[in-house]
Amino acid sequence: MPPDGDPEPLRTRRHHVLVVDDTPGNLVVLGELLAPSYDVRIANSGERALQAAVTEPHPDLVLLDIMMPGMDGYEVLRQLKADERTADIPVVFITALDHDEDEAHGLALGATDYITKPLRPAIVLARVRSQLELKDARDLLRDRNAWLDAEVRRRLRQNQTIQDVSMRALASLAEARDQETGNHIMRTQGYVGELARQLATSPRHAQALTPDLVEMYTKAAPLHDIGKVGIPDYVLGKRGKLDAAEWEIMKTHAQVGAEAIWRAVEHEPDHEGIEFLYHAMDIARSHHERWDGSGYPDGLEGEAIPLSARLMALADVLDALISRRAYKEPLSFEDAVTIITAGRGSHFDPDIVDAFLAREEQFRAIVRRYRDEVAPTPPLGG
């Protein structure tokens, strides 16, 4: 490749031409005609032609006689086209058959050209040069397209990484004011991904929970508590339990977070690429809703709660249970499982609790991976 990374546009080697004919005199004539300009290999039968075609270096062009004993040229062409290693090699028939139907049959099988005997050197050289130029153009286009596809994928991965890191950084602005949350963002994001993937295996949710939607839910999860940026320090940083008035203030973070995200997207005419932010709005606003309707801020019940927020609800509670807080010691993972199971059908969507129980080991792995260094989670047991 040249310095700019673009595929090399110019050929740097001689073309290889395979000549196939059962008549030695024809092989000699074609070999002498082509040798000054090309690297020439010869084969005097269909079987040897097929072997030569898959031997490095592969030919760039095959000049193929039709009328040969045993395997004729038509069969050789069929087998070349059936093998992915040789299917793209252009084949030019060279034959004494000069009827229109013979030419049509050869072209229908995949031949790129047809030269009739007796051979005229100028015609042979012109046809060979033309076919090799076409092959070079096709190869260059293929290589350039492959390079462009790879470059597009690389840029998409790069942009995706930047976007994901930026979202976590934004979420961390809120979490940084809460000295007790530690790796809460990373753990809850992992939980949401596991829950969504497990839920997608159930017949009830498989159609709706596409891989793209699972990815968007997972990407949106870190923004669930972004609204904490709007909570006063004396409430957010209080050591100990909040009183009733302080708790009412704390609960506003759900609405504050959803409104903040909405202000970021409301003037964007094109939603492509930022769909996950709409899910982030649902998560931020509704992840404290409860299945039985006793949550906040809207008192939503059952499936009126967005699915993304129902996933986040379990993820957030689980992490709160097993994490140390100023007002409580961390619970063991086993005790957290017991509490979440008890909340099936009241606090949590029953299907999501079942998904959690089905992936309990994966959740334990997430906890181990993202343990808080300052205030570590308790032993997982088992």
Contact 380, 362 (CB under 8 A): no
Sheet with 39-43: strands ordered across = 39-43, 16-20, 61-65, 91-95, 113-116
For 30, counting Cβ atoms within 10 Å of its Cβ (0-12 exposed, 13-18 middle, 19+ buried), the class is buried
At 175-224, the pLDDT tens digits run: 655 555 558 888 999 999 999 999 999 999 999 999 999 999 998 998 89
Q: Which of 205, 186, 203, 219 is nearest to 307 (CA)?
A: 205
Contact 283, 307 (CB under 8 A): no
The CATH code of the domain at 16-148 is: 3.40.50.2300
| Helical residues (DSSP H) of 112-210, grouped into ranges | 121-175, 184-199
Q: Please report the pLDDT score of residue 143 as a whole number.
A: 86
Name residues of the chain where pLDDT drops below 50.
Answer: 1-4, 8-10, 374-379, 381-382
Same fold, 16-148 and 176-369: no
Q: Please report the pLDDT score of residue 350 as a whole number.
A: 97
Residue 9, Cβ neighbours under 10 Å: how many? 10
Q: Distance between CA atoms of 233 and 193, rounded to whole angstroms? A: 31
Model's pTM, two decimal places? 0.59
Q: Please report the pLDDT score of residue 376 as a whole number.
A: 43
Assigned architecture for domain 176-369: Orthogonal Bundle (1.10)
Q: Please report the pLDDT score of residue 118 as a whole number.
A: 86
Q: Please report the pLDDT score of residue 105 as a whole number.
A: 78
Where in the chain are the domains?
A: 16-148, 176-369
Q: Please report the pLDDT score of residue 130 as a whole number.
A: 92
Report which secondary-structure segment, H or E, holds 17. strand 16-20
Residue in the block written with tokens 């005997």: 117
Q: Please report the pLDDT score of residue 244 as a whole number.
A: 93
Q: Please report the pLDDT score of residue 249 as a whole number.
A: 94
Q: Distance between CA atoms of 295 and 305, rounded to whole angstroms? A: 10
